[in-house]
Structure 1
Amino acid sequence: MKQTIHVSNMSCKHCEARISKALEEKSINAEIDLTTKSVVVNDVDVVVAKEAIVSAGYQPE
């Protein structure tokens, strides 16, 4: 099931790369859209994905 996580303080390609790396470290594949400031995860525990985003220094909503 696809779930969308909004990350309002993601503002540049560097932010996108940091979030992507944090998710990859948890073996989470995600689609990251800088324009909409969203991260779409598929078939994964959204809590784990949010924890990875927080560990990268961002605030998921």
Structure 2
Amino acid sequence: QQKQLNTVHVTGQEEVNNRITLKAIGYNLKRLENMIKNNVEESNSLKNFANNLHRENHDIKFSFIIQ
């Protein structure tokens, strides 16, 4: 059983408005994607930074114990 597709007739101006809206949505999605990528990269570099700090602290404690 095939569903009847509703066809909507839009004026030229409405079509232009729809295209502008779609472009804006696409643009915002791209920005969101980039923000997510940057957050992931930042959180990874923060994790690395934290791990390095942890290691350095451990090394410092260790050198105190040796002395």
Q: TM-score, with normalisation over the residues of structure 1?
A: 0.28
Q: Using CA pairs under 8 Å that are at least 6 residues apart, name the structure with larger relative contact order, 1 or 2.
A: 1
In proportion to residue count, which structure has more helix? 2
More strand by share: 1
- Rg larger in 1 or in 2? 2
